[in-house]
Amino acid sequence: MINRHQFPKSLAFLCLLAALGIDIVIPNAVAQTSIKTSFAKSVAFTCNDSETSIKAKNGPKISIGGKTIYIGYQQVSSQNQDPRIIRFDNGVKKWCRSDYETTIDDGRGYGLLWDGGNVLYGVFSSTGSQTGNDFRRFAKNGWLSSYGNGGGAKVAVIAKINPTNGSVSAATFVTAKKPNDGKTNSLAITNLSWNGTTLKVLADSWWSPRRADKNSMTCTGSSPYKYTAVFTGDLTKVNSATAINCS
């Protein structure tokens, strides 16, 4: 038998409210169970495509409470792809963005993290800096503000996105850095997680992953290396960065 003096007062109060039929609302800054991620091979669609058509392609998407966001790319010429992201609410298009990157860079969206509310991050690819509008204009204050030195190697871009209209409020490039010549090397993000304050990034990095100070790690064995970086929510700083077989 439980001694009534040992019964927590706070729990007894909650039981009383429940017995009286009073709704109990427990605030929670981050509803962890609602946070979803999706990473998949990027698929092609346009802002004029129907949700049925886009859904059938089985690309990365997140659905929460009748709201669905899809990310991918549009083939805008024979050799050029530009990223696309679109949101449908109960089958009705709410918005679609085709203006993130409009250069001849190969830009594709392939990852999402969304909590169904105000927290939305998109992951995109980049193969170099080109003249015109690209993610550099969003990443001016990012951990890495540009693709860097070189071109051709496929790297990642993370963008913090307003779920109500698709506008980008912050971004950063995430790249590897060759220690011998300082040129940019390939990196592909494989997952994201959000704890309400920081964004944890998992990636496959080719020689060599970057430390939090942006310098190349020293690695052994062959790449890709399993890389983990913890970003501040505004993507301006990396709090920690590690990689298997690297230091």
Mean pLDDT calculated for residue range 107-128: 98
Higher pLDDT, 15 or 53: 53
Q: How far is the C-alpha of 191 from the C-alpha of 203, rounded, in Å?
A: 7
- Residue 4 belongs to some domain of the structure: no
| Average pLDDT, integer, range 109-114 | 99
Structural domain contains residue 136? yes
- As to burial, measured by CB atoms within 10 angstroms (0-12 exposed, 13-18 middle, 19+ buried), residue 18 is exposed
Out of 14-23, 57-66, 68-77, 112-121, which region has the weakest mean confidence (pLDDT)? Answer: 14-23
Supply the CATH number for residue 94's domain.
Answer: 2.40.128.630
Is-contact 101 107, C-beta < 8 A? yes
pLDDT(3) > 90: no
| Separation of alpha carbons 49 and 39, rounded Å | 21
pLDDT averaged over every residue in the chain: 90
Which pLDDT tens digit goes with each residue over 207-244? 999 999 999 999 999 999 999 999 999 999 999 999 99
Cβ proximity of 246 and 231 under 8 Å: no
The mean-pLDDT minimum among 31-35, 89-93, 139-143, 144-148 falls in: 31-35
Query: What is the distance between the alpha carbons of residues 24 and 39, in angstroms, rounded to a whole number?
Result: 36
What CA–CA distance (Å, rounded) separates 16 from 6? 17
The predicted model gives 54-83 an average pLDDT of 97
Per-residue pLDDT tens digits for 168-212 = 999 999 999 999 999 999 999 999 999 999 999 999 999 999 999
Could you tell me the strand order of the sheet in which 198-205 lies?
187-194, 198-205, 225-232, 238-243
pLDDT tens string 24-46: 333 344 444 599 999 999 999 99
Mean predicted confidence (pLDDT) in 8-23:
42
Tell which residue, 193, 192, 175, 173, has the closest CA to residue 183: 175
Structural domains in the chain (count): 1
Q: Name 32's Cβ contacts closer than 8 Å, sequence gap at least 6.
A: 195
Count, residues in the chain: 247
| Beta carbons of 176 and 206 less than 8 angstroms apart | yes
Distance CA 82, CA 20 (A): 57
- For residue 77, give its domain range: 34-243
Q: Which pLDDT score, from 0 to 100, does residue 33 have?
A: 56
Cα dist from 240 to 3, 142, 199, 225, 236, whole Å: 48, 15, 11, 16, 13
223 belongs to a structural domain: yes
In a domain? residue 16: no
Whether residue 40 lies inside any domain: the answer is yes
Is 18 contained in some domain?
Answer: no
Whether residue 99 lies inside any domain: the answer is: yes
Q: CA separation (Å) from 136 to 5, 129, 147, 171?
A: 62, 8, 8, 8
Reading across the β-sheet that carries 61-64, which strands appear in turn? 61-64, 67-77, 80-89, 92-97
Lowest mean pLDDT among 29-38, 76-85, 117-126, 127-136: 29-38
Give the per-residue pLDDT at 2: 39
Supply φ then ψ for residue 20, to 5 degrees: -85, 0
User: Is residue 149 one of the residues assigned to a domain?
Assistant: yes
Confidence of residue 8 (pLDDT cuts 50, 70, 90): very low
What string of DSSP letters covers 72-98? EEEEEETTEEEEEEEEEETTEEEEEE-
pTM: 0.88
